[in-house]
């Protein structure tokens, strides 16, 4: 009797040990937090489908199309993604309401690609206190790269500060001594750009900047601000505004026949959502920057990354505007989400989602050669490089080297 019991205990111990071993390899166990199961992964999303930033709603529509593609092809490791996307009208109080609904009522595994700096700021503390991933926020404020204080929030694009430092270096190298007027949105987005610009210009900022004029997203127009900047006679105009206001500024400049060197922040360099609205004739020679390939470049017609993008748009988002850079942004974000979820395997806990999101190193074919999506536990900035571009005719033309804000001279 004692021998038999001893034999059973040994078997149990060995079985347990083997179970621990295989669990550590992720081969036999499945671990789930709210929002995940054998058949489903619930992903929350918050977008400004209405309101002053509604042009950005295209991000969410593109992401939904890409997730339809994933589900039609079998899902992620056999699980379909349930993509729950709500409108916040670019209103921070509404963002808080929608985030609480997603986390506490819908019980999503994570919130992905919620858009806007002020709106994400409103839920920043909440998401981290609840330990729910705030994954690849669709805003490039520098605050999203703070893994020590906010380990549950990660950004995606090149930070606004870094982008502005790149513009500053470009100005100093190509337009030495030329003066600068700045239009900026009075929130964390605009202030981040402004900070990066001052950092990039260094001790020359005081003598080169003739005007820094802000606007609020509740303003009906930025035309008075454009006139104020023009009256200071800068050689260069830096337009740090979201799509509606960027288009207004471009049109007003044309009306005034004012033609300084015009640098447009990447948040508004969409052809379909901004430049077409402002008028192609009014948008000529605009400067901006991007990490993406030029999908309209004839030399890239057979590029595998561009072809993948075209095929996706044609089949899964036929109503989407392929001239709209925001569709490409949504595509890139959705590809990053797919990568993280596939890396999670059968460990679909929120902790593992962040572990995988902070251990990325891969290419997306739509990004320029040499630009990789990379993160580490101490670096929550997946993309770090940009290339300057100029708007000519009806397309952006890239020029110059790929620039890394951390390696500027």
* CATH of region 32-158+300-378: 3.40.50.2300
The confidence score (pLDDT) of residue 28 equals 53
Nearest in space to 120 (alpha carbons), one of 142, 102, 139: 139
Task: Please state, rounded to an integer, the average pLDDT across all residues of the chain.
Answer: 92
In this model, does residue 14 exceed pLDDT 60? no
Q: Which of 23-27, 71-75, 261-265 has the lowest mean pLDDT?
A: 23-27
In this model, does residue 4 exceed pLDDT 50? no
Output the DSSP codes for 90-156: T-HHHHHHHHHIIIIIS--SEEE--B-HHHHHHHHHHHHHHT--EES-BS--GGG--TTT-TTB---
Summarised one tens digit per residue, pLDDT across range 63-83 is 999 999 999 999 999 999 999
Domains 32-158+300-378 and 161-290+388-407 share a fold: yes
Task: Return the structure tokens found at 51.
Answer: 């309101």
In this model, does residue 16 exceed pLDDT 80? no
Instruction: Give the pLDDT mean for 280-309.
Output: 94
* CATH of region 161-290+388-407: 3.40.50.2300
Instruction: Give the pLDDT mean for 46-52.
Output: 96
Task: Return the structure tokens found at 72.
Answer: 């039609």
In this model, does residue 303 exceed pLDDT 50? yes
The Cα 163–Cα 214 span in angstroms is: 19
| pLDDT band with cut points at 50, 70 and 90 for residue 408 | confident
In the chain, where the domains are located: 32-158+300-378, 161-290+388-407
The confidence score (pLDDT) of residue 1 equals 43
Summarised one tens digit per residue, pLDDT across range 111-134 is 999 999 999 999 999 999 999 999
Torsion angle of C-alpha atoms 141, 145, 151, 154, degrees rounded to 10: 60
Q: What percent of the chain lies above the pLDDT cut of 70?
A: 93
In this model, does residue 104 exceed pLDDT 90? yes
pTM, full prediction: 0.84
């Amino acid at each position: 009797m004692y021998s038999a019991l001893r034999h059973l205990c040994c078997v149990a111990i060995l079985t347990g040990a083997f179970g621990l071993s295989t669990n550590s390899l992720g081969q036999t166990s499945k671990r789930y937090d709210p929002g995940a199961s054998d058949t489903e992964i619930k992903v929350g999303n918050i977008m400004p489908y209405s309101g002053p930033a509604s042009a950005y709603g295209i991000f969410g529509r593109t992401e939904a199309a890409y997730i339809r593609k994933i589900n039609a092809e079998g899902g992620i490791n056999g699980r379909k993604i349930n993509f729950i996307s709500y409108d916040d009208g670019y209103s921070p109080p509404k963002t808080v309401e929608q985030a609480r609904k997603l986390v506490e009522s819908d019980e999503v595994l994570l919130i992905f690609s919620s858009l806007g700096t002020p709106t994400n700021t409103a839920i920043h503390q909440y998401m981290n206190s609840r330990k729910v991933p705030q994954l690849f926020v669709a805003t490039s404020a520098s605050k999203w790269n703070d893994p020590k204080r906010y380990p549950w929030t990660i950004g995606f694009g090149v930070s606004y500060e870094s982008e502005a430092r790149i513009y500053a270096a470009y100005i100093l190298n190509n337009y030495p001594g030329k003066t600068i007027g700045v239009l900026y949105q009075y929130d964390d987005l605009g202030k981040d750009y402004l900070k990066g610009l001052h950092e990039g210009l260094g001790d020359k900022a005081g003598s080169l900047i003739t005007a820094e004029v802000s606007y609020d997203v509740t303003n009906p127009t930025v035309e008075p601000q454009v006139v104020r900047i023009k009256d200071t006679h800068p050689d260069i105009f830096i337009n740090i505004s979201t799509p509606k206001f960027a288009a207004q500024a471009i049109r007003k400049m044309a009306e005034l026949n004012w033609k300084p060197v015009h640098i447009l922040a990447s948040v508004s360099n969409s052809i379909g959502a901004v430049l077409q609205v402002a008028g192609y004739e009014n948008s000529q020679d605009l400067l901006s920057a991007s990490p993406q390939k030029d999908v309209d470049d004839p030399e890239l017609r057979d590029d595998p990354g561009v072809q993948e993008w075209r095929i996706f748009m044609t089949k899964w988002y036929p109503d989407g505007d392929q001239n709209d850079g925001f569709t490409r942004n949504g595509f890139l974000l959705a590809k990053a989400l797919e990568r993280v979820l596939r890396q999670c395997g059968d460990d679909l806990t929120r902790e593992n989602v962040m572990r995988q999101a902070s251990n990325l190193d891969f290419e997306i074919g739509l990004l320029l050669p040499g630009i990789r999506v990379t993160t580490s536990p101490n670096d929550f900035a997946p993309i770090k490089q940009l290339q300057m571009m100029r708007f000519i005719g009806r397309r952006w033309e890239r020029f110059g080297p790929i620039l890394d804000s951390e390696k500027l001279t």
